[in-house]
């Protein structure tokens, strides 16, 4: 029987009906207007109803992928920063409202699960998925099972320390990988560089001299065009990421490494640096038999994975 997948974000809920093979049969999106738990539960139910009506089928379970820290057995969301939630028993609340089983997992875990069963991870049992978008995150599959950690927050690759005491990260700590190579921070560092007046080539690449037009691609273009300062910044960020990913390959010995997220998709220079780094710096035994591929389900990976988690 098909199942329901939910992608719960801070501004909208997306629901989809997904068949047992991971094919998306229908989907619906509803804006989150009331962020309190009962309001969000109603919004999820609305989106679910709409998706079910469109697909014209019944489902017998619902999986939810949510940005945040989720207790793996109870489905309680300990912390969901973009909803302002602490300790919300979402699985229970939603199960009461929908009338069938609900499982809640972290959004990256859901995405990894989707890639594993219906995307670039098919055929693999041991996988590391690295996403570099505005933030940096990862998900771990070992022996076909999600590694969630004792508190449900395993995979926080963005918050490993690469420069203890270094740049302030959005998490409040210093020197995290994300503070150097997360998209938000690549932009912030590029803006700092622009403001310093030391980078002529970068200046020439910023549209209308408007710092708000800067993206990570602007930095990569400036580096490619020979801007020494931009190159240094780009190189530092790429190198931190490449070493971090290589070291996780050494630790986890995945048979597949998937790369995804906007920065890795639109900055081929950073992506290439990661590929090179894995070859150079992961231990020889750990990279034997390793396949590196790009995540292929894009924005649908989480919703498909959430649905497949209860299939």
Give me the residues that bind a copy of itself (CB under 8 A), please: 69, 72, 79, 124-126, 138, 140, 142-143, 145, 147-157, 159-161, 164, 171-173, 175-176, 243, 246-248, 250-256, 280-281, 283-286, 288-290
For residues 63 and 121, which CB has a smaller minimum distance to a copy of itself in the complex?
A: 121
Structure tokens at 34: 């009331």
Say if CB 227 and CB 202 are below 8 A apart. yes
Q: How many CB atoms lie within 10 A of CB 143?
A: 7
CA distance 77 to 87: 5
CA dihedral 239, 139, 186, 226 (to 10 degrees): 40
234 or 287: whose CB is closer to a copy of itself? 287
Residue closer to a copy of itself, measured from CB, 12 or 250 = 250
In the bound state with a copy of itself, the residue whose beta carbon lies nearer, of 201 and 290, is 290
Q: How far is the CB of 69 from a copy of itself (least distance, A)?
A: 6
Question: Per 3-state DSSP, what percentage of the chain is helix, strand, and coil (rounded to 5)?
Answer: 45, 25, 30
Three-class SS state of 9: coil
Query: How is 240-289 classified by DSSP, letter by letter?
Result: HHHHHHHHHHHHH--SEEEEESHHHHH-HHHHHHHHHHHHHHS-HHHHTT
Nearer to a copy of itself, 127 or 222 (CB): 127
**Between 14 and 256, whose beta carbon lies closer to a copy of itself?**
256
- The minimum distance between CB 235 and a copy of itself, in angstroms, equals 13
Q: Which one-letter DSSP state was computed for residue 213?
A: G
d(CA 100, CA 117): 23
Closest approach, Cβ 47 to a copy of itself, in A, equals 28
Tell me the closest approach of the beta carbon of residue 298 to a copy of itself, in angstroms. 25
CB of 5 to a copy of itself, least distance (A): 22
| Least CB distance to a copy of itself at residue 262 (A) | 22
Nearer to a copy of itself, 221 or 234 (CB): 234
Query: What are the DSSP E strand ranges found in the chain?
Result: 3-8, 12-18, 24-31, 62-66, 69-70, 77-80, 85-88, 102-106, 127-132, 136-142, 145-147, 256-260, 291-294
Closest CB 152 distance from a copy of itself, rounded Å: 7
């Amino acid at each position: 029987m098909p199942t329901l997948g939910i992608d719960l974000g801070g501004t909208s809920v997306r629901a989809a009906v997904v068949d047992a093979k991971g094919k998306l049969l229908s989907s619906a999106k509803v804006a989150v207007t009331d962020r309190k738990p009962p309001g969000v539960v109603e919004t999820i139910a609305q989106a679910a109803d709409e998706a079910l009506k469109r697909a014209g089928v019944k489902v017998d379970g619902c999986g939810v992928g949510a940005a945040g820290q989720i207790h793996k057995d109870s489905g309680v969301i300990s912390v969901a920063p973009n909803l302002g939630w602490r300790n919300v028993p979402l699985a229970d609340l939603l199960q009461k409202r929908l009338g069938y089983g609900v499982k809640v997992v972290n959004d990256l875990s859901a995405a990894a699960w989707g890639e594993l069963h219906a995307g670039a991870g098919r055929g693999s049992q041991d996988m590391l998925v690295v996403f570099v978008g505005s933030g940096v995150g990862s998900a771990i599959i070992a022996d076909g099972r999600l590694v969630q950690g004792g508190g449900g927050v395993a995979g926080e690759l963005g918050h490993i320390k690469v420069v203890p005491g270094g740049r302030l990260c959005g998490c409040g700590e210093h020197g995290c990988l994300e503070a150097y190579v997360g998209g938000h921070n690549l932009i912030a560092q590029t803006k700092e560089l622009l403001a310093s007046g030391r980078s002529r080539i970068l200046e020439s690449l910023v549209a209308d001299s408007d710092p708000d037009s800067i993206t990570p691609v602007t930095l990569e273009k400036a580096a490619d065009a020979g801007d020494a300062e931009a190159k240094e910044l780009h190189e530092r960020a790429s190198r931190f990421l490449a070493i971090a990913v290589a070291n996780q390959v050494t630790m986890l010995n995945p048979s597949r490494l998937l790369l995804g997220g906007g920065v890795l998709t639109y900055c081929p220079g950073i992506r290439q640096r990661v590929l090179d780094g894995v070859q150079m710096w992961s231990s020889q035994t750990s990279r034997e038999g390793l396949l590196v591929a790009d995540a292929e389900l894009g924005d649908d990976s989480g919703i498909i994975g959430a649905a497949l988690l209860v299939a």
